[in-house]
Copies of this chain bind each other. A is one copy, B any other.
């Protein structure tokens, strides 16, 4: 399928650009102790889909309808990847999920020790807000940058992603309803995606209606992403996933397939993706193709 190839190429280009920008996150003149810098860069450069930066840059272009915005949005795209990366480092800690491997590589604390992993997470989280502020030097109005910074604090913080992780830990094994599971995933997964498209749309000069529409898109997309993750944990290929299949079952995690079965989970992914795209269509965007392509790509992914 040509659409599928083209979105893959787009994601490849964006990934390369984001990773280049990420490499410059901690220039020598900032004077970060070498081991701390190594620990932060180890996880920042560990790969991954760079999905959130891609959503952010695509949303900016969707609203604005042209490419030159990518430069101004890039510091914010790096910021969201720093937040995502820190959350993985802290989630993998022995006191949390106690994971030894991530994307086929030893987790941060396995390489640098627990203390340094905690600090690497703290450092990346804090530096994300420095990265956001940099957008003001690239022509984004100070009011807009401040709105982005405030959004990030809410959607990545205790009322958002951190709250989702807390609810997950508090509810472990005790989750009995879809509503509880959805609540956790909306916060753990959707909120940072909502931030990504909202921030991109803000850089692109979105109206309030457009902000709400892309936010709703990402909310549904995040849920679809999470359900698909749960499905792949059962049906996926270990080599492609970079982790053992059935790890959720082994860890007695309550998942969508566990609660509603594989078939209904697959139907849910389809429905949520459709609803996500519907939300976009109401946004009156200059160019929504990339965001729609990403939604379809995620629905069809095998890892």
Q: Does A266 interact with chain B (Cβ within 8 Å)?
A: no
Q: Select the residue from A86, A156, A166, A169 with max chain B CB neighbours within 10 A.
A: A166
Q: How far is the CA of A141 from the CA of B141 in the complex (A)?
A: 12
Task: Say how far A83's CB is from chain B's closest CB, in angstroms.
Answer: 9
A-B contact pairs, 18 of them (CB 8 A): A33-B170, A36-B163, A40-B158, A86-B122, A95-B113, A115-B169, A116-B166, A119-B165, A119-B169, A122-B162, A123-B162, A126-B157, A127-B158, A129-B152, A136-B143, A142-B146, A146-B146, A149-B149
Q: Select the residue from A115, A132, A152 with max chain B CB neighbours within 10 A.
A: A115
Contact flags A129-160 to B (C-beta < 8 A → 1, else 0): 11011101000011101100110111011110
Q: Does A70 interact with chain B (Cβ within 8 Å)?
A: no
By the criterion CB–CB under 8 Å, are A154 and B93 in contact?
A: no
Q: How many copies make up the complex?
A: 2
Q: With a CB–CB cut-off of 8 A, which chain B residues contact A86?
A: 122
Q: With a CB–CB cut-off of 8 A, which chain B residues contact A122?
A: 86, 90, 121-122, 125, 157, 162
Pick from B96, B158, B169: contact of A30, CB below 8 A: B158
Pick from B33, B113, B133, B158: contact of A153, CB below 8 A: B133
Count residues of A near B (Cβ-Cβ below 8 Å).
Answer: 55
By the criterion CB–CB under 8 Å, are A126 and B158 in contact?
A: yes
By the criterion CB–CB under 8 Å, are B95 and A32 in contact?
A: no
Q: With a CB–CB cut-off of 8 A, which chain B residues contact A88?
A: none
Task: Say how far A199's CB is from chain B's closest CB, in angstroms.
Answer: 14
Q: With a CB–CB cut-off of 8 A, which chain B residues contact A169?
A: 115-116, 119
By the criterion CB–CB under 8 Å, are A123 and B170 in contact?
A: no
Q: Does A51 interact with chain B (Cβ within 8 Å)?
A: no
Q: Does A68 interact with chain B (Cβ within 8 Å)?
A: no
By the criterion CB–CB under 8 Å, are B157 and A127 in contact?
A: yes
Pick from B40, B127, B142, B167: contact of A33, CB below 8 A: B167
Q: Select the residue from A40, A133, A145 with max chain B CB neighbours within 10 A.
A: A133
Contact flags A100-119 to B (C-beta < 8 A → 1, else 0): 00000000000001111011
